Amino acid sequence: MSEPSRNPDDGFVKEIPPKAPDLSAWYTAVCLKAELVSYAPVRGCVVLRPYGFGLWENLQKHLDERFKATGHENAYFPLLIPESLLTKEAEHVEGFAPEVAWVTEGGQEKLEERLAIRPTSEVIIGVMYAKWIQSYRDLPVLINQWANVLRWEKATRPFLRTMEFLWQEGHTAHASAKEAREETEQMLAVYKDFAENVAAVPVYAGVKSASERFPGAVETYSIEALMPDGKALQSATSHDLGQNFSKAYDITFVDADQQIKHVYTTSWGMSWRMLGAMIMAHGDDRGLRIPPKMAPIEAVFVPIVRGENRGAADKAHELAKSLRAQGYRVRVDDRDQTPGWKYAEWEMRGVPLRIEIGPRDLESGSAMVVRRDKQKGEDGAKVSVPFDELGARLRELLDQVHISLFEQAKAFLESHTFAVSDRDEFFEKCRSRAGMIDIPWCGRAECEASVKAQTGATTRNTRPLQKAGAACVACGEPAKVNAYFAQSY
């Protein structure tokens, strides 16, 4: 973390280091300074502070309404999983074993059977589904849970990698493979929609390679965002689990043809890591730039008072009250600080709009509205809005901020996506973290491992082959799909 220091050249006290060249230092500083998180006195865990929790609540709100719209219900399952249950699906256990934490004692007594703290909930939910599902008439089961999970990570960073993290995990059961596959793809589309239309983070959606697949899944899909340092960030996954879990946990039903069959299950999750993607994608040297739909505070009033004359502050409170009644999330900052200090503070914390009201504005009956997505002095960064038009104009401006942030991030993604056909160029771009490197790929695990060993890059996800008959750019074998390669978080 950098020390706040006075810089006489620009009159600002720098609270965070510049975003480039050390994205990592910028990221950690901004998460702490903007009061999203605090480190907790527990290794690898963070406290989500009110402002950070506000981000999480908005993520929940928008995702949850999409889940409901696609027919899902929320439920809650236990945190602890008996060891004997966990070990039934072989690949799943193997995949998660290194990072499971165990409860071995209760009170003073050693437990006869260890209890795992859930690293994910396929197991406990599968066991319950086995009890609940009898008939094809009980299907599909479409349940989501908002929960915390724990994975014993070696190294941690706010949002991107913490031992305990918040997420949602959807778990569904279906009568047919086709229906399960459609569910998996539908939820992938929901995630892409959320990422782009709420968090304003453009992503590539596609299929994971075998080596990147979720332990126990038949097929894993993901959305992948690109960070400013050229590394990719997996932002959500959706898994078609086939009958792997239903066979391990004996989830059966009697079908219309009177045959006993195993159900097909899916699971899909997005975690608070998405917040990390959003922070890195949009932030700048002044700090956070939060997309309006995710912003705990959409607009902050900064009244400029003169001596004993509190007129500006009174007006700000009056307008804020009216805006709240119209559904806006606004705050009035009438703390005893200079306006300049407040401007810098709220810019650092990423509030999309700032509304300045001073003596001049009181006279003219209008306020200055300043957009966080634009740079100082940029065209349209600052507009004067009559008090009685604020309610209508704020909605427009917030929409514009969203679009502008999304377009900026999209332009970055597109300018850092390279369709490459030359092998040397492919390796060079992978090594230098140029961005998303798009190639026709053979799909072989050996090929992927070889690229990883030589460059650090892996496939992020794949899509159908774009040009029939193409050869794998990495190894020359016949290509089967198009794949994005990148180094990843």
Partner RNA sequence: CGGGGCGUAGCUCAGCUUGGUAGAGCGCUUCGUUUGGGACGAAGAGGCCGCAGGUUCAAGUCCUGUCGCCCCGACCA
Site size for RNA (CB under 7 A): 72
**Which is nearest to 371 in space by CA: 338, 405, 337?**
405
Subset of 278-297 contacting RNA (CB under 7 A): 286
In angstroms, give the least distance from the CB of 171 to RNA. 14
Phi and psi, residue 262, nearest 5°: -85, 140
Helix pair angle (390-415, 311-325), 10° resolution = 80
Q: Which residue, 14 or 261, is less far from RNA as judged by CB? A: 14
In angstroms, give the least distance from the CB of 489 to RNA. 5
343: its two tokens: 């401007």
Handedness of CA 390, 395, 398, 400 (dihedral sign): negative
Strand partners, 64: none
From 70-78, 246-254, 270-278, 424-432, give the range in contact with RNA by CB under 7 A.
270-278
End-to-end CA distance of the chain: 21
How far is residue 194's CA from residue 182's CA, in Å, rounded to a whole number? 18
**Binding string, 106-125, against RNA, x = CB under 7 A?**
--------------------
In angstroms, give the least distance from the CB of 207 to RNA. 14
Q: Which residue, 97 or 111, is less far from RNA as judged by CB? A: 97
Q: What angle do CA 393, 374, 35 make, to 5 degrees?
A: 95
Q: Which residue, 347 or 373, is less far from RNA as judged by CB? A: 347
HSE toward the beta carbon, residue 273, CA cutoff 13 A: 24
In angstroms, give the least distance from the CB of 15 to RNA. 4
Q: Work out whether 368 is an interface residue with RNA (CB under 7 A).
A: yes
In angstroms, give the least distance from the CB of 204 to RNA. 14
Among 70, 87, 322, 488, binds RNA (CB under 7 A): 488
Handedness of CA 322, 324, 330, 333 (dihedral sign): positive
32: its two tokens: 């702490």
In angstroms, give the least distance from the CB of 368 to RNA. 4
Among 133, 236, 437, 447, binds RNA (CB under 7 A): 236
Give every CB contact of residue 25 below 8 A, 6+ residues apart in sequence.
1, 2, 17
Q: Which residue, 107 or 307, is less far from RNA as judged by CB? A: 307
Q: Which residue, 114 or 157, is less far from RNA as judged by CB? A: 157
Distance of CA 224 to the CA centre of its chain: 10
Q: Which residue, 39 or 136, is less far from RNA as judged by CB? A: 39
- Cα dihedral 234/235/241/242 (nearest 10): -90
Burial (CB < 10 A; 0-12, 13-18, 19+), residue 259, is: exposed
In angstroms, give the least distance from the CB of 92 to RNA. 11
In angstroms, give the least distance from the CB of 6 to RNA. 7
Subset of 210-229 contacting RNA (CB under 7 A): 212, 214, 222
Q: Which residue, 135 or 364, is less far from RNA as judged by CB? A: 364
**Which is nearest to 131 in space by CA: 85, 182, 72?**
85
Q: Where do the DSSP E strands lie in 40-137?
A: 46-48, 73-74, 80-82, 101-106, 109-117
In angstroms, give the least distance from the CB of 485 to RNA. 13
From 11-19, 49-57, 320-328, 474-482, give the range in contact with RNA by CB under 7 A.
11-19
**372 vs 11, 349, 402, CA distance in Å?**
19, 10, 11
Among 35, 57, 94, 99, binds RNA (CB under 7 A): 99
Subset of 387-426 contacting RNA (CB under 7 A): none
In angstroms, give the least distance from the CB of 194 to RNA. 14
Subset of 134-193 contacting RNA (CB under 7 A): 151, 153-157, 159-163, 165, 167
Query: Helix, strand, or coil here: 185?
Result: helix
Q: Work out whether 429 is an interface residue with RNA (CB under 7 A).
A: no
Q: Work out whether 380 is an interface residue with RNA (CB under 7 A).
A: no
Subset of 32-71 contacting RNA (CB under 7 A): 39, 42-44
33: its two tokens: 């300074």
Among 370, 451, 473, 486, binds RNA (CB under 7 A): 370
How far is residue 379's CA from residue 369's CA, in Å, rounded to a whole number? 13
In angstroms, give the least distance from the CB of 341 to RNA. 4
Q: Work out whether 448 is an interface residue with RNA (CB under 7 A).
A: no
Subset of 333-352 contacting RNA (CB under 7 A): 336-345, 347-348
**Which is nearest to 352 in space by CA: 294, 276, 290, 404?**
290
Distance of CA 2 to the CA centre of its chain: 26
Subset of 303-332 contacting RNA (CB under 7 A): 304-307
In angstroms, give the least distance from the CB of 478 to RNA. 26
Query: Helix, strand, or coil here: 134?
Result: coil
Q: Which residue, 368 or 413, is less far from RNA as judged by CB? A: 368
From 171-179, 190-198, 258-266, 300-308, give the range in contact with RNA by CB under 7 A.
300-308
Contact between 332 and 369 under an 8 Å Cβ cutoff? The reply is: no
Omega within 30 of 0 (cis) for the link into 8: no
Among 121, 144, 168, 237, binds RNA (CB under 7 A): 237
84: its two tokens: 């004997």
In angstroms, give the least distance from the CB of 373 to RNA. 13
Q: Work out whether 300 is an interface residue with RNA (CB under 7 A).
A: no
Strand partners, 39: 46
Residue with tokens 């409170």: 317
